[in-house]
Amino acid sequence: MGKIEKYIEEIDDKNIKFNIKLFPIYYSFSYDFLFFYAIEFVFLSQVKNFTSSQILLLDSMIPLFCLLFNIPVTLFIERNGKRKSLVIGNICMSICLFLVIISRSYIGIIVAFLFNSFGFCFKRLTETNILAESINIKSKKEKSLFALAYSTGLKNYLILDGVTSFFIGLTYEINGYLPMMISLIFTIVSTILSACFKKTDVEAREKAKSKPKKSFIKEYKEQLAELKKSFAKFIKSERLRALMLFIFLFSGFAYGSYSLRETLMVEYYEVNAVAFGIIIASLTVIGGLAEILHEKIRKLFKNRTLTFISILFISTFILIYLISIANLDMNVKLGLTLILFAVQYSSDSLYMGFENTYQKNFTTNKIRVKISAIIEIIKNLSNSLMTFIFSILVGTFAINLVFLYIGIAFSIIFVAVLSYMKPRFGLKKEQYDKSEIFSR
């Protein structure tokens, strides 16, 4: 927090200062569920009695629901503001966990995940935009402040999630529902913190300029038309087109990988619930600590950062398969596999920070929600599609073979994608045409 204090000491607006300092604290609790993912797979398979393929199918429904809710939620945010929408998003996440706890059927869990999707839509379209709006990103210093506040919050979340997850196996042994109840408590804390963000002058000015409200249906149609228009505008930008293509492929790949790793540990290495919780906790902490390297990696790889991250991530899939067929003791193979899992977690957490920064480059407050909405649509479509494909593969082939097939396929795909991105993305501002810089 010390570095952030140095950045904001010259800011006069108390509300802006408060929001910037609150964001890393809020994000530490609310980037995603705490005390949940380290046991979700085991909970759904052992307590709710779902198969690995069914769990992957459930995971694919979350981004699909997000895709359906994206436009109505975007419209709601435009009409009611980011701060109120953020609170609603966290309430939806709390309802999701409550339903997961009490539901006894597959349909009940689907309804819970529906609320999860609503919550994610609200949160992903408001959280970082509230931060960006408070900072009013324009200068290099303001971009650095945004990246610092975001990466600090994400790092703290991953470390907190990892540290608390060390106790998940033990609480699960006491009662299978206890980890879910603890996760619900953390989510309620997130909801309380989300209500603490203060109104800024930027938000007040935008509200003063806003037009009178129309009927929801009429405004929904206009919003849909506006989103199509914005997408048509953004897709003409070679910079954004390259970024959206990368996000479409890598986000779904990384999202589906979580369940693949868990399936490999449970089905191939037969890891028990206590060890499973400790492993996921350790990996999450490592992913959080990787955020410390955010600035060093940015300076080292510059406009080739996404290339480095994607190649590193993809290569681990083929190596995991080779380890699984090696003539080694099973515990040695598990240890080597976990090292590669740690590389995946680190790559994924670094990618999230860079992706959020890149999509906000060369934009203003007026355009960021629209860009975020389009990026979220792309990510949700990718997450749903990739996870659905992975669920079919898991239900058809041995899990270690799935890692091989996916590794080979994505290696070929990303060679083409990175070649396409090279002359179009990661350039300095002065190297882009004026049409690549969005002010409205």
CB 438 within 8 A of CB 362: yes
| Confidence label for 371 from pLDDT (cuts 50, 70 and 90) | confident
Cβ(193)–Cβ(26) below 8 Å: yes
Residue 150 in contact with residue 356, Cβ under 8 Å? Answer: yes
- What's the token pair of residue 419? 């070649």
pLDDT, tens digit, for every residue of 40-96? 888 888 889 888 888 888 888 888 888 888 778 888 887 888 889 999 999 999 999
pLDDT grade for 139, boundaries at 50, 70 and 90: low
Q: Tell me the DSSP string of 349-376.
A: HHHHHHHHHHHHTT--HHHHHHHHHHHH
Reported confidence tier of residue 433, pLDDT bands at 50, 70, 90? low
3-state secondary structure of 422: coil
Mean pLDDT of the chain: 82
- Encode pLDDT of 96-113 as tens digits: 999 999 998 889 999 999
Q: What's the pLDDT tens digit per position in 246-288?
A: 888 998 899 889 889 988 998 899 988 778 878 887 887 788 7
Which two tokens mark 352? 């999230």
Q: How many angstroms separate the CA atoms of 274 and 152, rounded?
A: 29
pLDDT for 222-247, tens place per residue?
Answer: 777 877 777 777 777 777 788 888 88
**Could you tell me if 403 and 264 are in contact, meaning their C-beta atoms sit under 8 angstroms apart?**
yes
Confidence tier at 379 by pLDDT (50, 70, 90)? confident
Q: What local confidence, expressed as pLDDT, does residue 317 receive?
A: 96
Q: What pLDDT is stored for residue 322 in this prediction? A: 96
Give the pLDDT confidence of 285-341 residue by residue, as tens digits: 788 778 777 778 777 877 778 888 889 999 999 999 999 999 999 999 999 999 999
Q: Measured between alpha carbons, how far is 135 from 71 in angstroms, rounded to an integer?
A: 26
Number of H helices, E strands in the chain: 19, 0
Phi, psi of 422 (to 5 degrees): -50, -50
For 196-199, which contacts have Cβ atoms below 8 Å and span 24 or more sequence positions?
196/22, 196/26, 197/19, 197/22, 197/26, 197/83, 197/86, 197/130, 198/15, 198/18, 198/19, 199/15, 199/83
Give DSSP secondary structure letters for 72-123. HHHHHHHHH-HHHHHHHHHHHHHHHHHHHHH--SHHHHHHHHHHHHHHHHHH
Do residues 118 and 92 touch, judged by C-beta distance below 8 A?
yes
Confidence of residue 3 (pLDDT cuts 50, 70, 90): low
Averaged pLDDT, 211-219: 68
Q: Do the Cβ atoms of 59 and 387 come closer than 8 Å?
A: yes
Distance CA 370, CA 127 (A): 14
Q: How many CB atoms lie within 10 A of CB 2?
A: 6
Query: Domains in the chain and their CATH numbers?
Result: 13-203+216-436 (1.20.1250.20)
Quote the pLDDT of residue 8: 65
End-to-end CA distance of the chain: 33
Mean pLDDT of 425-429: 59
User: CA-to-CA distance for 117 and 93, rounded, in angstroms?
Assistant: 8
CA dist 304 and 307 (Å) reads: 5
Distance CA 437, CA 439 (A): 7
- Residue 99: count of CB within 10 angstroms of its CB: 18
